[in-house]
């Protein structure tokens, strides 16, 4: 198609709703799309029904008309400024030009004066699903001709077939978008489920670590408030233990073997403390510090502490026999238990620790130092706490640093 003389023809006006119309055209996603049989069938039917050499579906883009389907035309598009269809979309009904040479708008049009030499034209405006006119269903002839009322009705019905395809296309596109949205939602849902599962696992891990580091009620308070209020306890029981001759025995081990052996002992101690309801506080070198009686009956807590002490003593004696039978040295254990008032709480920010303070703690350490290897040493305070629930060997009063003399006892057995 030549564009010679285009300046002399009438240029189509721009519709008032041009921006919305262009949006409706873009939503169809048909511009520059591949050929489709469903549109070709309608164009071929149009040509056969009207017995014309040219029929096409034209979509009016910003500055061009593009042919979605065509019969009798070579070009795939023309300038919008020389298009008949640019005028047709301004109408509400079909625009008919019986003789283009007799119509001032098209007499000098290059499509009339040159290929394809259009003389007759009829164009039915096509509306997209939004109601905006996006193009036309057109027929053209190289000779002038009349177009009767029934021809207009027939062209209108054919136009509705094209619009039906637009609607189906819109529905298909909506289904595609819905499926894509559903897939994206499912993916997001899976990602969310994964994130929730990971967070849940992290929370469980955090809960596990929190409960391992702090007593249950303390962990709950710390989780709820971010801090723990220090609490005083009048009759708590504190136990210290350490390995006698540790330095001399440790010198016979390699560093790795020493750590492994200590870890074996302390892991067992941790398990036994949890089983007996005793709260492990910390290890200090080869020493082990724990407390009972921060909750519940102080006497019952004291008996639990004794049972725990008996079990770690039994383990150490048994392990000593096993190791020394293999030709290596092993340490013995000394245990001291004391009861009295103390304060318990959490200190630190970066590495928080649950700890206890007061003379009771210091005296418990001295009671342990006053013990003998393989024995459980008790203070008078603790003896008075548990009373006749145990049998103990009186040792008399013994001096301890900074506290004068304290009466001590070796545990013999727990009654009952």
Q: Kindly state whether residues 99 and 164 are assigned to the same domain.
A: yes
Q: For all residues of the chain together, what is the average pLDDT?
A: 88
- Residue range(s) defining the domain that contains residue 400: 227-414
Residue 402's pLDDT is what?
A: 81
* Whole-angstrom distance, CA of residue 360 vs CA of residue 343: 10
H-helix or E-strand spanning residue 405: strand 404-414
- In this structure, are 402 and 276 located in the same domain? yes
Q: What is the CATH number of the domain that holds 356?
A: 3.30.70.1230
Residues sharing a CB contact under 8 Å with residue 257, sequence separation 6 or more, in sequence order: none
Taking residue 4's Cβ as centre, other Cβ atoms within 10 Å add up to: 9
What pLDDT digit, counting tens, does each position of 227-278 carry?
A: 667 688 899 999 999 999 899 999 999 999 999 999 999 999 999 999 999 9
- Burial zone of 104 (CB within 10 Å; 0-12 exposed, 13-18 middle, 19+ buried): exposed
pTM above 0.85, yes or no: no
In a domain, 204, yes or no: no
**DSSP-assigned letter for residue 7:** G
Tokens (6 digits) for 65? 């008309």
395 and 263 in one domain? Answer: yes
Mean of pLDDT values over 352-364: 86
d(CA 246, CA 325): 18
Tell me the torsion sign for CA atoms 74, 77, 82, 87.
positive
Which tens digit of pLDDT belongs to each residue from 26-42? 999 999 999 999 999 99
Domain count, the chain: 2
Q: Pick from 176, 205, 238: which residue ends a domain? A: 176
Distance CA(123)–CA(387), nearest Å, equals 112
Find out whether 201 and 176 touch, Cβ atoms under 8 Å: no
Quickly state the pLDDT bin for 189 (edges 50, 70, 90).
confident
163 plus 242 within the same structural domain: no
Q: Same domain for 170 and 248?
A: no
- Residue written as token pair 């969310």: 192
409 and 280 co-located in one domain: yes
The confidence band for 117, taking pLDDT boundaries of 50, 70 and 90, is very high
Q: Are 101 and 107 in contact (CB under 8 A)?
A: yes
The pLDDT value recorded for residue 359 is: 92
Encode burial over 347-378: b for 16+ CB neighbours within 10 A, e otherwise.
eeeeeeebbbebebbbbbbbbbebbeeebbbb
Distance CA 1, CA 4 (A): 9
Are 46 and 108 contained in the same domain? Answer: yes
* CATH number of the domain residue 28 falls in: 3.30.450.40
Pairing state of beta strands 77-79 and 279-284?
A: unpaired
């Amino acid at each position: 198609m030549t564009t010679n003389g285009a300046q002399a023809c009438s240029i189509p006006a721009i519709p008032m709703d041009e921006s919305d119309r262009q949006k409706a055209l873009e939503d169809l996603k048909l511009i520059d799309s591949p050929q489709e049989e469903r549109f070709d069938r309608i164009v071929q039917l149009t040509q056969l029904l009207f017995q014309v050499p040219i029929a096409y579906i034209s979509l009016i883009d910003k500055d061009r008309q593009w042919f979605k389907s065509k019969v009798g035309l070579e070009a795939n598009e023309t300038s919008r400024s020389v298009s008949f269809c640019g005028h047709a979309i301004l109408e509400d009904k079909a625009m008919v030009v019986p003789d283009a040479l007799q119509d001032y708008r098209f007499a000098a049009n290059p499509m009339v004066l040159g290929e394809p030499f259009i003389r007759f034209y009829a164009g039915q405006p096509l509306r997209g699903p939004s109601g905006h006119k996006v193009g036309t269903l057109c027929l053209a002839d190289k000779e002038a001709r009349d177009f009767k009322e029934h021809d207009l009705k027939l062209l209108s019905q054919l136009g509705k077939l094209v619009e039906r395809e637009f609607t189906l296309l819109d529905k298909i596109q909506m289904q595609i978008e819905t499926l894509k949205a559903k897939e994206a939602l499912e993916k997001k849902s899976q990602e969310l489920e994964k994130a929730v599962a990971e967070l849940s696992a992290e929370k469980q891990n955090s809960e596990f670590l929190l409960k391992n580091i702090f007593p249950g009620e303390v962990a709950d308070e710390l989780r709820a408030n971010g801090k723990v209020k220090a609490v005083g306890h009048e009759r708590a029981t504190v136990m210290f233990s350490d390995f006698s001759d540790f330095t001399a025995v440790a010198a016979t081990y390699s560093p790795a073997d020493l750590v492994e052996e200590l870890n074996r002992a302390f892991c067992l101690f941790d398990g036994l403390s949890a089983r007996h309801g005793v709260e492990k506080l910390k290890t200090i070198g080869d020493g082990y510090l724990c407390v009972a009686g921060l909750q519940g009956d102080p006497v019952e807590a004291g008996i639990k502490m004794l049972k725990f002490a008996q079990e770690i003593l039994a383990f150490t004696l048994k392990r000593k026999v096993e190791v020394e039978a293999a030709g290596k040295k092993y340490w013995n254990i000394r245990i001291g238990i004391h009861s009295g008032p103390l304060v318990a709480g959490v200190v630190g920010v970066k590495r928080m620790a649950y700890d206890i303070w007061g003379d009771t703690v210091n005296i418990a350490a001295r009671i342990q130092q006053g013990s003998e290897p393989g024995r459980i040493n008790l203070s008078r305070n603790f003896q008075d706490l548990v009373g006749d629930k145990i049998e103990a060997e009186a040792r008399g009063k013994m001096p301890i640093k900074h506290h004068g003399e304290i009466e001590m006892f070796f545990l013999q057995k727990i009654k009952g």
